[in-house]
Structure 1
């Protein structure tokens, strides 16, 4: 959309809109926000995507800048500029001027960015039209505000666009069906010769590569040329790789950093694993190993339970060198183990039963086994779980932190609450949850970590957690009005309605929600199990 007003008028209106709403001051971020222009590369005549993000954006309510590029080497049209996925609700204006080699951007939001997660704010598709070499970008007129009179000390990190010499590599292999050559991937089994495999692009939400081979193969290698990667990104779909030894689902955020690059994805079954429960995932972009992903990768592995094994007690371990960690977002059902990872690593399916003497025949026995196996909950002793004991606010913050891998020693002294001691078991988890908008205090600079958590407080914390990990399950159940809805605090009504409709929270007999009621450990275990199962769908 082209801007008809002058640049100065737009910025003035954005700032005035903040003043009219009397927005509160945002707290200063621990580190300055950083505008980052990602690098890209392409052969002459080809196109590549350049993403622009803001690192550590928490608290920013407005930003503006001008991107300058070499118009003699790079071609850009208004149609090849799109708004980033993390500013979908913002008042957002841009103006591309190809004749000047500039793109100007301004955006404002009443609440601003709620967390320090990297925010994707713009995507540009440049066509390489100049001579080979590195073409540098430049950012000018960079400003950002946390409030009407609170300008942020935002910095910039500028990438480049490399125009490569020669011709793009030509793919070789078995011919594919006519008309499908543009949607094909190179597949190698056990490091053998590559063959072209057609990609199914008919599904609304995903593009799928199906590898036909034996269950006993040692490795599957899938290569995607940069032009295909860019088409997948342009479609906005997830990338799915299906094979007998495992299935991968890479969301758009995971694939996004690989724009304009050739990528290779490998699944390897570990040697000497008789039951084939070890699997290594490798990802390379232009020959460089990728260790961590911006988004998430869902992995589905076949697994045959032993007679004595129950699904609730199966776990997935991530093995990095001598370190082994349990992946919380994992579910076993119908002979398959599904888990979510943000790392390339080696994974092992194991059994981690945690027998307790006080849960047999309890209504939440299977839920307790599920969360205890993943070590999200610990027992009150080696033999006792305490299913009917109440859950404290500190306990719930700890469980939510463990679900996303917060280290027990991280941020141990960083809590802003006066009643959270640095050496306490829940300190790092409360610090992380507070910093990322998952939990709120009770007023007066206090968190009340040892106070029992109420049902409405739990709903609020669960919703904060879901927003943080960008989990938005559909509302599959009709919303209903509880008989005691008038007793629900105003700040919790919307959270409770959404969680009830999503099937995460239930009411109580008599169509009551009991918002001020206390949460037992057994009840919390059920909610956490449902939440985890939804997160890996």
Structure 2
């Protein structure tokens, strides 16, 4: 009996392979068999779920009598839905052998099944089920799940005509993830105590700060004999600014301007707490910019709400403090990089309560700084020093040559110091130099040894994922393994791949594989950057007109929209011959350019 069972399995597996070939041949020859009535129907069920949830759709066939084999693909939007091979379950139809293959990057699940004997019953049968995970950043609405590449045959074999009934997944309500509402709690996956990026549920709209789209408040400025500056905003000034903003056709900002006091030791900006709450709650106010000669601070809409959440009915005052720090306060590890450059402590108080962290939103800080004659602006960086004295580089900082200032984005009010971290590679020159210098200064990329960078060598998929983790400041020490079959826990890149998979930046290449040592293609790099933008809650700007590449038809459907968005954002461009070359490997220099432009844009963008 055991021998007969083994023989049956071998026969069925052979039949499955033969069926796939025959189905393709029959499809070409058009040799179709179908009864005049009772044509079978392949159906996908429709379900509803929330962002972050798993939902299961069933693929069934109505009136399956006479079917001996079938193959088809289930197509879905990979930016909304994710699935792995383990999520696909084939039904145990008696005598059938099944094979499935998931290619997440393309949004396809391939299915094939065959039997030594045709199905003899006409009642509806479930063929397989697929458990999809809805992206946490998915918009509310419907996303289609469709059938394509369908071939069905009887046991002659002849092709059988079959109807198709597609399904959909309705994304409704808010994410089931409760999020992070504790002002003092940062996501453990973020080593750099900066941006509020991990676990964001939706990609917020993004506005580049436009100082012309604001209502000005000229605040009273008082300087004491110790060089301390107090800037006071009144309730009437806030009310008048809100009234002016409500007359604007579009959401606008409020700019609080202090008299310029150079070399101030400490600047304290006082705003009535209840008036601040009104600013935060008014949907016409998109940001508040506070301008002093010591620093300019811009609070986005969510940052305003985060601070306002600490205001009670009895709160009187909100103080934002900028305090100059002596360079002797720095640890030896960064003293050389900081030198005599400026450093400041930043605080926010609601009355006497310290609010060091934002639970949501971000702050743009601009620190005036004049370059020394030998300074390379791409090597000027910002160090963040936490309350325990631990220093880390802020990745998304940039030197603004027009404003002569270092600009960076953060979500914490801590100590920040301007530093300089120039890295030189002997084999880097030409167009890529500035981009490579920029990322190397922030320790997002490094060389290959002997002072070389190898700019023209193609970058591997595992290497690019590590670069993204560096930009995010991800603490990958919490990851010990990976879900991919070809990524071992002992591989140096395993924690970076595991992080990227958990954050829905990568999904693998199918069959549970990641292909870490493969060169990353230009189109896959675009897809990863596009997903990373969602992860860091950054809506890509549109700074250039859309270009239609001459090989647009060669760009895979799963990558086309990502390529368009990155091209309009000025992050990617085509080849000199007008093509995009989607399957061509991207070099280390090209990847440095893409990520440097991405970071520089994000550093100066209000969310």
TM over 0.5: yes
TM-score (norm 2): 0.59
Is the contact made by 1:206 and 1:238 (CA closer than 8 Å) also made in structure 2?
A: yes
Is the contact made by 1:185 and 1:222 (CA closer than 8 Å) also made in structure 2?
A: no
> 477, 492, 497: which is aligned to 2:564?
497
1:258-313 Cα offsets, whole Å, 9 max, x none, are 33614321111113589551011112234322222222111100111111111011
Distance, in Å, in 1 between the alignment partners of 2:553 and 2:448 is 36
1:73-98 Cα offsets, whole Å, 9 max, x none, are xxxxxxxxxxxxx897469xxxxxxx
Partner residue in 1 for 2:466: 398
Partner residue in 1 for 2:446: 378
Is the contact made by 2:229 and 2:268 (CA closer than 8 Å) also made in structure 1?
A: no
Distance, in Å, in 1 between the alignment partners of 2:565 and 2:231 is 48
Partner residue in 2 for 1:342: 411
Is the contact made by 2:220 and 2:258 (CA closer than 8 Å) also made in structure 1?
A: no
1:21-42 Cα offsets, whole Å, 9 max, x none, are x9547899xxxxxxxxxxxxxx
Partner residue in 1 for 2:300: 251
SS at match of 2:478: coil
Which consecutive residues of structure 2, in runs of 5 or more, have no partner in the other structure? Answer: 1-44, 58-80, 84-131, 143-168, 182-214, 246-250, 312-316, 329-338
Structure 1 window deviating more from structure 2 (300-309 vs 192-201): it is 192-201
Distance, in Å, in 2 between the alignment partners of 1:408 and 1:272 is 31
Distance, in Å, in 2 between the alignment partners of 1:249 and 1:521 is 34
SS at match of 1:528: helix
Partner residue in 2 for 1:50: none
Instruction: After TM superposition, list the pairs within 5 Å mapping 1:223-372 onto structure 2.
Output: 223-236=270-283, 237-259=286-308, 261=311, 262-271=317-326, 275=340, 277-293=342-358, 294-320=360-386, 321-334=388-401, 335-359=404-428, 361-372=429-440
Is the contact made by 1:300 and 1:338 (CA closer than 8 Å) also made in structure 2?
A: yes
> 535, 538, 558: which is aligned to 1:471?
538
Task: Indicate how the Cα distance of structure 1 residues 500 and 472 shifts in structure 2: closer, same or farther if over 3 A, else same.
Answer: same
Bigger Cα Rg:
2
Distance, in Å, in 2 between the alignment partners of 1:497 and 1:452 is 22
Distance, in Å, in 2 between the alignment partners of 1:369 and 1:117 is 40
Q: Which has the higher contact order (CA 8 A, sep 6+)?
A: 2
Task: Indicate how the Cα distance of structure 1 residues 502 and 61 shifts in structure 2: closer, same or farther if over 3 A, else same.
Answer: closer
SS at match of 1:518: coil
Is the contact made by 2:140 and 2:173 (CA closer than 8 Å) also made in structure 1?
A: no
Partner residue in 2 for 1:51: none
Paired residues, number: 391
Is the contact made by 1:114 and 1:436 (CA closer than 8 Å) also made in structure 2?
A: no
| 1:194 CA drift (Å) | 6.2
Is the contact made by 1:368 and 1:522 (CA closer than 8 Å) also made in structure 2?
A: yes
Distance, in Å, in 1 between the alignment partners of 2:135 and 2:505 is 19
Partner residue in 1 for 2:154: none
Task: Indicate how the Cα distance of structure 1 residues 425 and 322 shifts in structure 2: closer, same or farther if over 3 A, else same.
Answer: farther
Partner residue in 1 for 2:510: 443
TM-score (norm 1): 0.66
Distance, in Å, in 2 between the alignment partners of 1:253 and 1:447 is 36
> 179, 183, 191: which is aligned to 1:118?
179
SS at match of 1:230: helix
SS at match of 2:322: strand
Distance, in Å, in 1 between the alignment partners of 2:176 and 2:445 is 26
Is the contact made by 1:188 and 1:221 (CA closer than 8 Å) also made in structure 2?
A: no
Is the contact made by 1:437 and 1:464 (CA closer than 8 Å) also made in structure 2?
A: yes
Task: Indicate how the Cα distance of structure 1 residues 488 and 195 shifts in structure 2: closer, same or farther if over 3 A, else same.
Answer: closer
SS at match of 1:385: coil
Is the contact made by 1:185 and 1:209 (CA closer than 8 Å) also made in structure 2?
A: yes
Q: Is 1:452 paired with 2:519?
A: yes
- Alpha-carbon RMSD across the aligned residues, in angstroms, is 3.4
Instruction: After TM superposition, list the pairs within 5 Å mapping 1:19-38 onto structure 2.
Output: 24=56
Distance, in Å, in 2 between the alignment partners of 1:426 and 1:439 is 14
SS at match of 2:496: helix
Distance, in Å, in 1 between the alignment partners of 2:544 and 2:552 is 18
| 1:492 CA drift (Å) | 0.3
Is the contact made by 2:357 and 2:413 (CA closer than 8 Å) also made in structure 1?
A: yes
Distance, in Å, in 1 between the alignment partners of 2:348 and 2:262 is 21
